[in-house]
Amino acid sequence: MTVRSKIILDCDPGHDDAVAILMAAVHPSLELAAITVSAGNQTLEKTARNALNVASASGRCANVPVAAGMSRPIVREQVTAGEIHGASGLDGPVFGPPEISLDPRHGVDLIIELLMASDGDITLVPTGPLTNVAAALRREPRIAPKIERVVLMGGTYQLGNVTPSAEFNIYADPEAAHIVFTCGRPIVMMGLDVTRKVRASADVIARVRSLGSSQAALFSEMMEFFAGTQKELYGWDSPPLHDPVTVAWLIDPGCVTLKEMKVEIELKSELCYGRTSCDFFGHCKGGRLTFDTSGALARPAGPNAQVAVDIDADRFWDILYDTFALYTK
């Protein structure tokens, strides 16, 4: 019997978030308990609208609450990524009016409500800034032991994409990331180190489009726009598809290689603000994992995350293709 992972997808759509939503909505090994949305790639108003559009387009989210959460980072001023995702946050495809409306609950309240009512079997899957998860942890600390694990897209132990040091999701709310990385729950970090290795080439896009469903068409329309901005900004011939790595790993953990590390978030440096400092070589090893949860300077004493260090890109694309093949209309 296949065990289904129950997940809350916390996102800021975003082209790659949208692909993550489409995969999570349809795959039978995942139970999508909710989609919560934060500001990130664009303002909350826009990312929430995009989430509704994509959830509606999936045709699989009629019973999945979609709730808007935090509109601003915890401490820093807001940054968005319009140069990558366009003015709407999801430029490219044209959507009709969404069939789904926003859940009246605040996204942070919904995360708390679902976790508190759970048996500790919910995996949080953040693919945007960690503002909602951090706010939920601060608002209701009793949720921490209820979180089965956090499987997030964010960070890098190599080069950043928004500064030389930092990756966008962590840079957009480093203080929130600090709260999450010190919450004491298992963390799987899918950083740029692996997500940059999965590039949506013209062949990949054509293969998915050939499936013929409206969701496959949506995938290719989104990727065509995304390819243009990624090429302009970074010079890639094919755009890296960051966020769906989280969902692909939940479907088939064999596609990613993980390494245990101590990960800390840089909060004080001007040059490295928002960097995930990853102890790849284990310099800081030792000690049992202990967290001082009383103050902002809580630091993990030992490894606190499983960090992705490699990905089988062909296997990733097969997972994505097979998942989109589950859409029949």
Residue 8 and residue 250 in contact, taking contact as beta carbons nearer than 8 Å: no
Q: How far is the CB of 5 from ligand BDR (least distance, A)?
A: 20
Indicate which of ligand BDR, Ca ion, none lies near residue 173 (CB less than 5 to 8 Å, by partner kind).
Answer: none
Residue 233 and residue 160 in contact, taking contact as beta carbons nearer than 8 Å: no
Please return the burial class of 31, using the count of CB atoms within 10 Å of its CB with bins 0-12, 13-18 and 19+: middle
Among positions 126-185, residues that touch Ca ion (CB under 5 A) are: 127-128
Q: What's the Cα-to-Cα distance from 78 to each of 1, 31, 136, 306, rounded to whole Å?
A: 45, 32, 19, 28
Among positions 68-127, residues that touch ligand BDR (CB under 6 A) are: 81, 84, 127
Give the range of 107-115, 137-145, 162-170, 246-254 binding ligand BDR by CB under 6 A. Answer: 162-170
Tokens linked to 139: 């608002």
Give the range of 182-190, 199-207, 239-247, 312-320 binding Ca ion by CB under 5 A. Answer: 239-247
3-state secondary structure of 9: strand
Tokens linked to 65: 């609450």
Nearest CA to 131 out of 71, 51, 46 is that of 71
Q: How many CA atoms lie within 13 A of 191 on its CB side?
A: 29
* One of 10, 17, 167, 193 touching Ca ion (CB under 5 A): 17
* One of 5, 58, 161, 165 touching ligand BDR (CB under 6 A): 161
12 has catalytic annotation: yes
Indicate which of Ca ion, ligand BDR, none lies near residue 264 (CB less than 5 to 8 Å, by partner kind).
Answer: none
Nearest CA to 272 out of 135, 157, 183, 151 is that of 157
Q: How far is the CB of 18 from ligand BDR (least distance, A)?
A: 9
Residue type, 193: D
Give the range of 75-83, 95-103, 207-215, 242-250 binding Ca ion by CB under 5 A. Answer: 242-250
Given CA atoms 46, 316, 63, 183 in this order, what sign does their dihedral have? negative
What does the per-residue mask of binding to ligand BDR show for 166-205, with x meaning CB under 6 A? -xxx------------------------------------
User: What is the binding site for Ca ion (CB under 5 A)?
Assistant: 12, 14, 17, 127-128, 243
User: What is the binding site for ligand BDR (CB under 6 A)?
Assistant: 14, 16-17, 41, 81, 84, 127-128, 153, 161, 167-169, 242-243
